[in-house]
Amino acid sequence: MSTTELRKRVIARVKLTKDAMLLRELDRMLRSAGKEIEPYKTTAVERRLLKRGLEAIKKGRVVPAEKADKAIERWLAK
C-alpha cells in the first residue's frame, strides 16, 4: 500500500470515528512524530544503581522472572 493510499485510508477512518480518546492519542502521536527523540540522560545515582545491578547479575544474585513477578504482585496488592 502506498503512502498516498494509506493516508487516504487513515483520514477516512478518522472522519468516521466518534472515539474521543482515540482522536486525542492520534493527535498526540502526530504532534510528536516530527520531533527527534533525545536520548535519556542518566543521573549519577542512576548510573551507580545500574552498575550495582550489573555487578549483582555477574555474581549470580538474581531471581527467576516467575518469582519476581509473584513478589511484584504481592507488593502491588498491599
In tens, the pLDDT along 18-72 reads 999 999 999 988 888 767 767 889 999 999 999 999 999 999 999 999 999 999 9
CA 27 to chain centre: 18
For position 72, what pLDDT does the model report?
A: 93
For position 39, what pLDDT does the model report?
A: 81
CA-CA distance, 72 to 34, in Å (whole number)? Answer: 37
CA-CA distance, 66 to 74, in Å (whole number)? Answer: 13
- Domain borders along the chain are 3-33, 44-77
Residue type, 31: R
In tens, the pLDDT along 30-45 reads 888 767 767 889 999 9
Tell me if the pTM is above 0.95. Answer: no
Residues 6 or more apart whose CB falls under 8 angstroms from that of 17 comprise 23
